[in-house]
Chains A and B, each alone.
Chain A
Amino acid sequence: MRLWMLIIAAIILSVISLFVGAIDIKPSDLLDWDSDKTQIFLISRVPRLMAIILAGAGMSIAGLIMQSLSRNKFVSPTTAGTLDAAKLGIIISMLFFTNVTYLQQIVFSFAFALVGTIIFMQLLDRIKFKDVIFIPLIGIMYGNILSAITTFLGYESDILQNVQSFFMGSFTLVVSGRYELLYIAIPAVILAYLYANKFTVAGMGEDFAKNLGLSYKAVLNLGLVLVAIISTTVVLTVGVIPFLGLIVPNIVSIYMGDNLRKTIPHTILLGMVFLLACDIFSRLVVYPYEIPVNLTVAVIGSAIFLVMLFRGKAYAK
């Protein structure tokens, strides 16, 4: 697949995304700057498009970073407890402060996502048996334990329902003023691009990286911080979008190989295209209502992951 094909697909899907919705807006309506339709377009449609693009690109890059750092194709925010830790952070911030502010939620969620991922990476270091399948298996279980704690706390304080609707990944509620946090993903993605080669080297192991003159700890920490930032911003603004960070980098790696400098642009674009397509589908399937995009992503994503597991055993090694 060529880069320009992905760019064209992204542009076409973006335009479709802008003009799909309960209220029929035609491009010609936008000529009248003060009309209601133009307002809807600017307050709802454009922010939604931006949110999808940022979340799609961000989650894919977060997955890519984790895969190169752990040198395991199946490690991602979904399969390493990062998203579950971020959720746990949000619920604890709700329990701590009676009137929790946005900033407090961000800080807690970020701290938990970071610590949660670091704990998992530490666990990885301890495990001698680094089987490509075994690691994500442990990671998913670790995530389940974290989310059992979240459910427990939610039950005890009667905010479970609140929390469940909060994490239902959906772009429905994205309007201007509610998604701007996602722009943090842009510098994170740029940093990831600049440090791409170093992540690859760091993934080779501490001794090897130090031999090549790389400050291993610093690069590793930067990578984990970037993953935690991206995951937190996505979870807080649109909710949990599973499998995206897992399958997109893997698909790119199948046709492009593993040179990060080259694969990052593809990963970003494919992440956008995939999420845009899922979102448009979710908006059309019960039109004029819509279903949460994370369901569409989970159904398609887990199916693709299963195919990868069985077909791609040779490739994953």
Chain B
Amino acid sequence: MRNNSTKLIMLIVIAVVFILLFAFYNIQGGFSYAFPRRLVRIGAMIITGIAISYATIMFQTITHNRILTPSIMGIDSMYEVVQTIIFFVLGSASVFVVNRFLNFGMAIIAMVIFALILYRFLFRADKHPIYLLLLAGMIIGVLLGSFVSFLQVIIDPVEYLSLQNVLFASFTNVKSELLYISMAILGASFIYGARILKDLDVMSLGRETAINLGVNYDKIVLKVLVLSSILIATSTALVGPITFLGLIVSNLAYQYIVTYKHSVLIVAASLISIIALVGGQFLVLHIFDLNTTISVIINFVGGIYFIYLLLKESRAAG
């Protein structure tokens, strides 16, 4: 355990160094202009990193695997589907668009419903092999993505402009008005989630054992699905979808920190996320002087890492 805490402290140090570098490196001229903007971006990256790590690790425990993540199952595309449908059916003048809270609430409710259906359908008594689920998840992502583009093409051009405003978030275009809402949601989900983390520790022993030890298994599964959908919705609304971040950081955390305790794993994964996002963005912008957004690089690295994990798993299985 002592070993783990030194590891955690190292992660914290690296994360803080990158955050300071990102905030102060090479600020020229208008400090008062650049600094608040950099802070907003750092804030968005920290919130996103924590939200995705938290959601992914809980999701992987209830699905008993380390390759599936909510994003790979298409849950973040669902956010875009919901927003597009709201615009398509109700129009941009609707109260569900104008009122940020109602809009977000509606998106989250729809995503939770989607996640529940997906879970019921895909994880029926563990009948389907993991590869089938992965492929199905990806194809569901493609299906939702093309369905969104399809609606976006036939939507009224004026509506489309305001839809773009809601959808096209990225690290360079953070929705700063959402920053405080996201912080509140993240804080609330931590308070709510703190009580189930211990149950999750027990649940990693398997369904039967956990029930035997007095965990209300199905209720916790439901809670985790709701919570992880809310977290993914928050991060997608703030900076747009980042498919592979959760996969990379959760697996790095499992490798780096040897523990079954979810509280420790989640902290470690969150720190790794922050390092990957802030550090990655810093290197891309200032050291390599590239225009690319960090999500392109994460998708590239994540794709390779994913193939590596799959090949490793398959060797273990075959």
Among B177-185, B199-207, B286-294, the one that faces the other chain is B286-294
B185 to chain A minimum Cβ distance, whole angstroms, is 30
Partner of A155, one of B131, B138, B153, B292: B292
Interface residues of B: mostly helix, strand, loop or mixed? helix
- Known contacts: A295-B153, A302-B142. The answer to whether A145 contacts B315 by CB under 8 A is no
- The count of residues in chain B whose C-beta lies closer than 8 Å to any C-beta of chain A is 35
Report chain B residues within 8 Å CB of A299: 143, 146-147, 150
B132 contacts chain A at the CB level, 8 A cutoff: yes
- Known contacts: A127-B314, A309-B136, A309-B139. The answer to whether A148 contacts B306 by CB under 8 A is no
A243 to chain B minimum Cβ distance, whole angstroms, is 8
A155 engages B296 (CB within 8 Å): yes
B310 contacts chain A at the CB level, 8 A cutoff: yes
A144 engages B299 (CB within 8 Å): yes
Report chain B residues within 8 Å CB of A151: 296
B193 contacts chain A at the CB level, 8 A cutoff: no
B143 engages A152 (CB within 8 Å): no
A129 engages B139 (CB within 8 Å): no
A295 engages B315 (CB within 8 Å): no
A97 to chain B minimum Cβ distance, whole angstroms, is 22
A133 engages B307 (CB within 8 Å): no
Report chain B residues within 8 Å CB of A152: 292, 296-297, 300
Q: Kindly supply a per-residue 1/0 record for chain A positions 154-198, scoring 1 wherever the CB is within 8 Å of any chain B CB and 0 otherwise.
A: 011010000000000000000000000000000000000000000
Determine the distance from Cα of A134 to Cα of B306 in the docked complex, in whole angstroms. Answer: 12
B311 contacts chain A at the CB level, 8 A cutoff: yes
Determine the distance from Cα of A4 to Cα of B291 in the docked complex, in whole angstroms. Answer: 56
A305 engages B307 (CB within 8 Å): no
B310 engages A137 (CB within 8 Å): yes
Report chain A residues within 8 Å CB of B147: 299
B143 engages A306 (CB within 8 Å): yes
Among A7-15, A54-62, A224-232, A285-293, the one that faces the other chain is A285-293
- Known contacts: A144-B299, A145-B304. The answer to whether A128 contacts B315 by CB under 8 A is yes
Report chain B residues within 8 Å CB of A155: 290-293, 296
B154 contacts chain A at the CB level, 8 A cutoff: yes
Interface centre among A128, A295, A313, by most chain B C-beta atoms within 10 angstroms, is A295
Report chain A residues within 8 Å CB of B318: 128-129
A136 contacts chain B at the CB level, 8 A cutoff: yes
Which of chain B's residues has its CB closest to A291's CB?
Answer: B153
- Known contacts: A285-B154, A306-B139, A309-B135. The answer to whether A148 contacts B291 by CB under 8 A is no
Partner of A291, one of B138, B154, B290, B299: B154
